[in-house]
């Protein structure tokens, strides 16, 4: 409950009350259920929580203790009886939380000023990487996917958005709302909005926005002939500044479907910007949230950048949302693919056939300037703290350049399937790019040697040599490797790395 919409006691401002039902499969017999949580409180006594084997029966398992570990950000429900292996159970949890006014993660509040000087408040979310546990106790790791059925009770005259398409609330849901929250809320001042079930998805993709925003929309036909609604939202006085976002979103989503040959699975895509947002944007499935300056545009000069950001987040609807890494050490798959494909499917690319290559080459230069230092980050390294910087922009650009190199070597048609196989088999143990030294031995031999870059030995410049792609890869951990290929045609020049397809620096020598 954010201020400004409903009269409420001051102590209830920026707070929320909720109930969650979690259905889970027991993989190993246990008497404890451990869930991630942070900044949540549980007001009921342990005995008032129950674990059901079947909600339609009287079979239940009482909770005898509830242990909160704030340091480890988890809560443990200790049970009276053992949960049996390979059986499904459901736990129902009532809890309270805070709509943060000073953190831009989890469920938090932000505000804007109307033209008349009034302050209007917004409740919004940012769950990546571990913010979901600040709104709901859950299994808050990307490997755990679930179907989310969301119901939001919010003030009259506000809009409530979530991942799923809004649907008609059933009478039993309204009765349940009245029974659960009548001691907390003046129910007549609130409404309930219900949503269709989400696909199976990770907790970091759950999203909620409650505001007084308005929208405009359009539709597109999916590959499986469904009509999908694309909506863009903003403050009422800024709605005309969403025209570009709507146009760019439609262009990108149609291009992505055509490219991946996998229909977008949800019935809608909402895109909304908020005044305070820690990231540039967040790809929540079906409800993408943007920073205002990366979304709103009225006669703006950075329209190409905005179209790229929108294309990036829409690419995540496949890479990241549909297919998700098991743990954050492989987030480079999410971000690298999104960076790579944004340059191909954005509205800016549609208006300029050379835009994609220029975009990726610029990324390559930026990446190399950062990636050559000894403290550079591996593509897939150990992640012990999920809150560390998982999506460093410089390394996203490096990831996109790596994927571009594979595409050119293997060919566009084979790129996606072969790249997945390659990445699964050969995790990079360290970041960086090779220095490939080319030596002409004689009229029939060119010698290529490869070694890791060193920021103290080489400085990048604006001058580049071009090369051919050799389908030979360093498949071990050697820092230095030599390759020698016989060359029989002494009438044709050997061009190394044409159009800078390879993510490496060339050093050319002659003997």
Distance (Å, whole) CA 273 – CA 233:
7
Give the three-state DSSP class for 362. helix
* Domain that residue 145 falls in: 10-212
- Cβ–Cβ contacts within 10 Å for residue 240, how many? 11
pLDDT in tens, 173-230: 777 776 766 666 666 788 999 999 999 999 999 999 999 999 999 999 999 999 999 9
Does residue 136 fall inside a structural domain?
Answer: yes
Q: Which residues are annotated as a binding site?
A: 312, 316, 335
Same structural domain for residues 489 and 387? no
Q: Which residues of 341-379 are buried (b: 16+ CB within 10 A; e: fewer)?
A: bbbbbbbbbbeeeebbbebbbebbebbbebbbeeebbeb
* Residues facing 63 on adjacent strands: 79
Same structural domain for residues 97 and 191? yes
Same structural domain for residues 458 and 421? no
Q: How confident is the model at residue 420 (pLDDT cuts 50, 70, 90)?
A: very low
Same structural domain for residues 451 and 333? no
Does residue 131 fall inside a structural domain?
Answer: yes
For residue 480, give Cα distances in angstroms to 434, 435, 455, 462, 502: 9, 10, 17, 26, 18
Residues annotated catalytic, as ranges: 313
pLDDT in tens, 267-309: 999 999 999 999 889 999 999 999 999 999 988 888 999 999 9
Residue 112's CATH number:
2.60.40.1730
Q: Is 497 left (phi over 0), alpha (psi -120 to 50) or beta?
A: left
pLDDT in tens, 335-364: 888 888 888 889 877 777 667 677 777 777
Same structural domain for residues 96 and 206? yes
Does residue 226 fall inside a structural domain?
Answer: no
Kindly report the length of the chain: 511
Q: Which of 425, 454, 473 is the last residue of a domain?
A: 425
Q: Which of 372, 399, 425 is the last residue of a domain?
A: 425
59, 77, 57, 58: which is closest to 67 by C-alpha? Answer: 77
Give Dmax over CA atoms of the chain in angstroms. 89
320, 325, 428, 326: which is closest to 380 by C-alpha? Answer: 428
* Contact of 210 with 204, CB cutoff 8 Å: no
Residue reference for tokens 């480079």: 332
Does residue 443 fall inside a structural domain?
Answer: yes
Does residue 240 fall inside a structural domain?
Answer: no
Residue 427 has pLDDT above 60, yes or no: no
Q: What's the domain count of the chain?
A: 3
Same structural domain for residues 454 and 418? no
Q: Which residues are annotated as a binding site for Zn(2+)?
A: 312, 316, 335
Same structural domain for residues 45 and 159? yes
Same structural domain for residues 465 and 491? yes
Does residue 358 fall inside a structural domain?
Answer: yes
Does residue 31 fall inside a structural domain?
Answer: yes
Q: Which residues contact 199 (CB under 8 A, 6 or more apart)?
A: 147, 265, 266, 285, 322
* Contact of 98 with 14, CB cutoff 8 Å: yes
Distance (Å, whole) CA 238 – CA 249:
18
Same structural domain for residues 500 and 351? no
Residue 467 has pLDDT above 70, yes or no: no
Same structural domain for residues 58 and 198? yes
Give the three-state DSSP class for 363. helix
pTM here is 0.81
Same structural domain for residues 411 and 462? no
Same structural domain for residues 404 and 462? no
Does residue 377 fall inside a structural domain?
Answer: yes
pLDDT for position 290: 98
Residue 30 has pLDDT above 80, yes or no: yes
Q: Which of 425, 443, 473 is the last residue of a domain?
A: 425
């Amino acid at each position: 409950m954010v201020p400004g919409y409903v009269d409420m006691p001051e102590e209830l401002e920026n707070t929320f009350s909720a109930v969650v039902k979690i259905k889970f499969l027991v993989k190993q017999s246990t008497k404890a259920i451990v869930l991630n949580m942070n900044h949540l409180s549980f007001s009921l006594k342990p005995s008032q929580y129950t674990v059901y084997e079947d909600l339609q029966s009287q079979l239940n398992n009482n909770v005898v203790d509830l242990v909160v570990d704030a340091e480890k950000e988890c809560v443990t429900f200790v049970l009276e009886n053992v949960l049996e292996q390979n059986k499904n159970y459901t736990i129902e949890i009532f809890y309270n939380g805070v709509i943060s006014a000073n953190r831009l993660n989890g469920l938090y509040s932000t505000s804007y000023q109307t033209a008349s000087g009034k302050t209007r408040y917004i409740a919004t979310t940012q769950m990546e990487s571990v913010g979901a546990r600040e709104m709901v106790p859950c299994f808050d790791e990307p490997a755990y996917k679930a179907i989310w059925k969301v119901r939001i009770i919010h003030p009259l005259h506000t809009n409530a958005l979530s991942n799923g398409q809004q649907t008609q609330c059933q009478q039993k849901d309204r009765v349940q709302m009245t029974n659960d929250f009548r001691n907390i809320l003046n129910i007549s001042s609130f409404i309930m909005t219900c949503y269709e079930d989400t696909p199976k998805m990770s907790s970091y993709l759950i999203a909620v926005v409650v505001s007084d925003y308005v929208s405009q929309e359009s539709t597109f036909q999916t590959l499986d002939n469904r009509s999908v609604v694309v909506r863009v939202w903003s403050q009422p006085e800024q709605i005309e500044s969403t025209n570009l976002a709507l146009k760019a979103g439609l262009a990108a989503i149609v291009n992505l479907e055509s490219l991946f040959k996998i229909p977008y699975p949800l019935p809608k895509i909402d895109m909304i910007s908020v005044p305070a947002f820690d990231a540039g944007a967040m790809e929540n499935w079906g409800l993408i949230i943007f920073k205002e300056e990366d979304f709103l545009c009225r006669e703006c000069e950075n329209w190409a950048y905005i179209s790229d950001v929108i294309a990036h987040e829409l690419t995540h609807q496949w890479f990241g949302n549909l297919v998700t890494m098991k743990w954050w050490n492989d987030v480079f798959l999410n971000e690298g693919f999104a960076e790579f494909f944004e340059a191909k499917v954005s509205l800016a690319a549609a208006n300029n056939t050379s835009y994609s290559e220029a975009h990726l080459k610029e990324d390559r230069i930026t990446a190399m300037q950062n990636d050559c230092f000894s403290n550079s980050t591996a593509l897939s390294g150990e992640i012990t703290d999920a809150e560390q910087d998982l999506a460093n922009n410089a390394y996203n650009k490096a990831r996109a350049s790596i994927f571009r190199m594979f595409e050119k070597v293997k060919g566009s048609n084979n790129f996606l399937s072969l790249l997945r196989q390659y990445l699964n088999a050969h995790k990079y143990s360290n970041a960086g790019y090779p220095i490939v030294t080319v030596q002409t031995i004689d009229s029939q031999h060119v010698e290529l040697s490869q070694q890791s870059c060193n920021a103290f030995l080489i400085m990048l410049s604006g001058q580049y040599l071009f090369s051919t792609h050799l389908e030979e890869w360093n498949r071990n951990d050697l820092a230095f490797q030599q390759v020698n290929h016989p060359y029989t045609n002494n009438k044709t020049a050997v061009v190394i790395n044409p159009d800078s397809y390879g993510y490496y620096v060339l050093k050319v020598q002659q003997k």
